[in-house]
Structure formats: structure tokens, C-alpha cells
Amino acid sequence: MKSIKTSSLFRLAALLIIAVIVVCMVGFIAEDRAGNKDEPLPDGGGTGEIPDPTPDKDPAPQAPTPPAYTHYLTGLEITADRQKTKPLCFVTDTASPLYGISGAALTVEIPIENGKSRFLLYQDDIKSLGKIGSVSASRECILALARLFGGISVYNGRDGLFDGESGESGGFDLSAQSGYSYTESTSFVYTNGDLLLAGLQNAGLSTATATEADRFSFAPHFSDPITLDKKAETVLIPYAQSNETSLYYDAEVGAYLLGKGGVVKCDLLNGKSAAYTNAFVLFAAATTYESESVTQMTPDTLGGGKGYYFTHGTATSIEWSTDAEGKLILKKENGDTLTVNRGASYIAFYKASRASSVVFS
């Protein structure tokens, strides 16, 4: 009886030991399986490919695409239709009431005798042109200068001592075509887009043109603005005490505002200021011709010389010339081509003998 009890106790102990061993083994196996649980393969898995352990990186940013069409005088984006349209180049007296000066792609100021000057205003959206003027008389040297930048000149007669020498009149003379201009209680002559469209058609002049080559070497699209080595937030160009042109840099606008007699010049049609990203002063030789009744000063606007380039409140010295095709060439003092910011430009021709009178700060 005693031996039977002892045997039973041994068997019970053996069973307990075996049970403990089995439980431990099951626990170890479960833990091992949990620690080595397979992660799902990316992109559907099961292909046999080894996934790349390196996480995906953002692709490199792509540079913006340059516009398909740009204006040959400003380098700014325009429509395809605008690119195929010639600008109109209006000759105006700087002392007269000005309509149509704001938004000009290019404004050129040319000195004449007695400290006076005239503007060439390049506007190329003829259908939107409202009142334009006052339109002034032109001269051979002004028409030659206008041809540097293309377009159709619009003027009211011609004055001066040597008209007709070049044998090329060019442009649209309002004084020779009746019905396309008008006056308003004064002798100042004005016109508008509708009148000009009819007048140009009657004269056989088309505003359609092939693509023009850029007249300036523009900075790349979307690049940081060019700044220069000298400060130039205010520029004074004294054609005469009563005819001093000033340029005021407006940092908020990022452009120079054009002034006359210390007052910013505004378009009387819409109240907007004449503003330019780029401004140039080009020093030119000048000749004065005299007769018994007339004195005429003619600047050499094709001969070349020194000058200044102004942009974003800064300035640098430059040299200018015209090439065999009659196009303006602008260079740095070291001879490299001058690169300019994209935008509207103002160009002032000034007597080289008085170059020191032009000051900026």
C-alpha cells in the first residue's frame, strides 16, 4: 500500500515538471514569432523584390517655365497678338499737357535748343489708347532715333532747318492727314486710338510686324533683381532751370518715377505716374545751327559716348553706341554687354559737354 502511494506521487511530480516545460516552450515560441513578425511589402509585395530601405525624397523643384511671348522693349510677358503688333511712337513736347505717358514701354527724352526737350512715348496697345498728346512736331534726328527702337512714329508736322535731308520721312504725320487729330480750346494737338487706326489704314501703314529682336540684354526670367555699385535714389537731369528732369526711386513700386520741375509727372488721362524699372542717361555730342531767324540744336543720337544706367535705386557708368543695323548697344566700362532688369525704360539724351551737370545720390 505504501509503495503504491509513493509511485503515484512520483508520477504526479513528473507530470507537473513536464507541464511546466511545455508551457515555457510554448511561451518562448510565441514570443519569438511576435518579435519576428514580417512587415508587409510595399506596393503590393509578394513580387520577390527587395524594398528600398531609404525613404522617398521630394523631387528637386522645377524652374518656372519662361513665357512664350515677351515684349521686345521690356522683356515682360505679353500675348501672341501683342507680339505681332508694332508700337506707336508719339512725339510730344515735355512742357505740354501729357496724356498717354503712363504705361509706356519706353520713354525717350531728346534735348532741343533753348533748354527744351521732347519725348518719344512708345505705346503698343493701340485699341486701348484713349486721349494721346499733346502731339508735337518732329525732326530728322528724332525720327532717326525713333527708328532705333522700331514702331511707327506719330507726330504733328516737322520743324528745324534741315528737314528732308535724310530723304526718309517715315511715320504718320497728323498735320498731313486731316481728320485724325483735334484741339481743345488751345493749340495743343491730341488724337486717340480710334482715330489713329482709321488714319493708319488710310495711309497704308500696318501695325502688324514680324517678331522684333530684344532691344536690351535682359536679365534671365525669374532671377533676382540686378543692383549696381553706386547709390542713386534721386537723379537730376537739368536740361534748363525751367526744364529739369528728375527721377525718384520708389522702393514700394520698384521703379523710378519721372518728375519735371520737382513734381512727379502724371498721366492727365488716368492720374497714374510715369514709372520705369530702368533709366539711362546717354551723353551725346550736339551741334547748334543758326540762321537769321532760327537757332537749332541737334544732338547726335547715333554717335555713341558715355552714360549712366540706373535701376533699383543704384547706378553704374556705361558706354553706348549704335551698330551697323542702327540698333543701340549698351556696355559696361570693361566692355561687357550691359544686362538690364526686365521692365519699362526711360532714356535721356544729354549734351556730353555738360555731363557733370547730371547728379545722383
Q: Which residue has the higher pLDDT, 334 or 96?
A: 334
Q: Which residue has the higher pLDDT, 46 or 171?
A: 171
Query: pLDDT at position 1, please?
Result: 45
DSSP state of 37: P
Considering only CA atoms, which of 5, 6, 8 is closest in space to residue 16? Answer: 8
The topology under which CATH files domain 80-360 is YerB-like fold (3.50.90)
What per-residue string of b and e applies to 55-79 under the rule 16 or more CB within 10 Å gives b? eeeeeeeeeeeeeeebbbbbbbebe
* Calpha distance 151→342 (Å, rounded): 20
Paired with 259 in beta bridges are 246, 264
- C-alpha dist (Å) from residue 169 to 145, 146, 357: 12, 11, 34
Query: pLDDT at position 9, please?
Result: 54
What per-residue string of b and e applies to 110-138 under the rule 16 or more CB within 10 Å gives b? bbbeeebbbbbbbbbebeebebbbbbbbb
Please state the rounded mean pLDDT for residues 145-173.
Answer: 78
Please say whether the beta carbons of 225 and 306 come within 8 A.
no
Q: Grid coordinates in use for 52?
A: 528600398
* Calpha distance 215→128 (Å, rounded): 24
Taking the CA atoms of residue 42, residue 48, residue 52 and residue 55 in that order, the dihedral angle to the nearest 10 degrees is: 0
Please say whether the beta carbons of 189 and 181 come within 8 A.
yes
Which range among 21-30, 74-83, 271-280 shows the weakest confidence by mean pLDDT? 21-30
Query: pLDDT at position 58, please?
Result: 67
Span 74-116, pLDDT tens digits = 999 999 888 888 899 999 999 888 999 999 999 999 999 999 9
Q: Residue 352: pLDDT band by 50, 70, 90 thresholds?
A: very high
Please state the rounded mean pLDDT for residues 223-242.
Answer: 96
Q: Which residue has the cell 510565441?
A: 30
Q: Grid coordinates in use for 87?
A: 508700337
Q: Is 31 helix (H, G, I), strand (E, B) or coil?
A: helix
pLDDT beyond 50 at 192: yes
Span 276-311, pLDDT tens digits = 999 999 999 999 988 777 788 999 998 999 999 999
Give the CA diameter of the chain.
163
Going through 160-292 in order, the beta strands assigned E by DSSP cover: 172-173, 182-183, 189-191, 217-218, 230-231, 234-240, 243-250, 255-260, 263-264, 275-276, 278-284, 286-290
